[in-house]
Amino acid sequence: MISFLRGTVAHIGLSSAVIDLNGAGMSVNATPQTLSSLRMGEEGKLYTSLIVREDSLTLFGFGSDDEREVFDVLLSVSGVGPRLALAVLAVHEPEAIRVAAHSGDGKAFTKVPGIGPKVAGRIVLELAGKLIPHGTAGAAAPAASSSSEAVWKPQVVAAMTSLGWSEKDAVTSIDKSLADSPELAGKGNVAEILRATLRWLGQDGARAGNRVGTRG
């Protein structure tokens, strides 16, 4: 695996750069922010992720190891390829992506060109527990308190509306699903509550009829 490249910057394009490694030019795809940090004729260093396909080998470059880590995790989401993962990093800083994934903020991902509510909801759901904001102690849920609902409920509702449900139906579904699992309300873990609500909705096909028309 190629972990990073360090060499003379031979070319900077709109979406890629070429790094000269002792006479061998390595083409690397990168975000506009990363490309803007490079200077023609000067030494540059990029952390890299190699994507292997049947008919191609493509390098993606990043200005930090943190960016590369978030990129690799985004690729674990079904339907998210390297181009789309790179687009997410072009719009959001790595920490902002961690916060959005951890808090269930699907709307943050719809700001990325090519990502609609369906894909945003899938990203939030599948990244739950995989991306933790720096300074957060693991994936520990907030301690239970009488005001904890005010913290997690708007985040779960936002995730539900990004998946296509109306705010009213989202609130109703959350309340009814937690009636079956009251311990989740006390823990206040956004990802767990979202999963529990979606499972509850999936138990009865008639419940899916409450879903509004999909947007985006």
pLDDT digits (tens, 9 = 90+) for 177-194: 888 777 877 777 777 787
Q: Who's near 204: CB < 8 A, 6+ residues apart? A: none
Residue 134 pLDDT > 70: yes
How does the average pLDDT of the chain come out, rounded? 81
What pTM does this model have?
0.66
The residue ranking higher by pLDDT, 15 or 152, is 15
Residue 206 pLDDT > 80: no
Q: From 176, 193, 191, 201, select the one nearest 106 (Cα to Cα).
A: 191
Separation of alpha carbons 7 and 203, rounded Å: 56
Q: What are the backbone angles phi and psi of residue 172, rounded to the nearest 5°?
A: -60, -45
The reported pLDDT for the residue numbered 85 is 95
